[in-house]
Amino acid sequence: MEIIPTSIPDLLILKPVIYTDQRGFFMETFHQKKYRKAGIKYDFVQDNHSGSVNGTLRGLHYQVKHAQGKLVRVVSGEIFDVAVDLRRKSTTFGQWLGLTLSSENKHQLWIPPGFAHGFYTLSGWAEVLYKATDFYSPDHERTIRWNDPTLKIEWPIVSYENLLISEKDLKGSFLLDAEVYE
């Protein structure tokens, strides 16, 4: 596994070793000892799987208590994945990272606790799997607006007219008004 650092410390791109032959491919999607050696020293307690049609935008989600670290990958299709640092004392507070995750590149993104997460579906259909370090807690879930002018996220949105986004995500907070991590 290759560990690719990003412009935001603690966010890591994980590129697995993929073994291919005439039958197809094989790869490890999680190996606790290797991930711990890479600095991901959390226990995962929940796996989530979502499917989204083209033009769907989900997020930016986070939990103010029971903060979740997420190990994200795509098993079908392609997404533009975004993580935003919400750790107020971090030197990268309010900065975001966006990258393409796909079933083709098989990369994973490690998003530690203290970040908001969201994605935009680029392909006709995409299935996203992610492991979480804490359980979903609806009472503590919060949303930052995907189009917050402070963040200036450069989403690769093809058509705003056809954007699919939940009512909850449309009503998210602006970063300057949001409850974040101290």
Distance in angstroms (rounded) separating the CA atoms of residues 104 and 6: 20
Torsion of CA 157, 159, 162, 163, to 10 degrees: 20
Catalytic residue chosen out of the listed positions 35, 42, 61, 120: 61
Q: Is there a catalytic annotation at residue 181?
A: no
Catalytic residue chosen out of the listed positions 35, 42, 120, 130: 130
Distance in angstroms (rounded) separating the CA atoms of residues 146 and 171: 10
Q: Is there a catalytic annotation at residue 130?
A: yes
Distance in angstroms (rounded) separating the CA atoms of residues 182 and 164: 32
Judge residue 21's burial from the number of C-beta atoms within 10 Å of its C-beta, 0-12 exposed, 13-18 middle, 19 or more buried. Answer: exposed
**CB 98 within 8 Å of CB 154:** yes
Distance in angstroms (rounded) separating the CA atoms of residues 25 and 56: 29
Residue found under tokens 């056809």: 162
Listed in sequence order, the DSSP H helices in 19-92 are 32-37
Q: Which residues are catalytic?
A: 61, 130
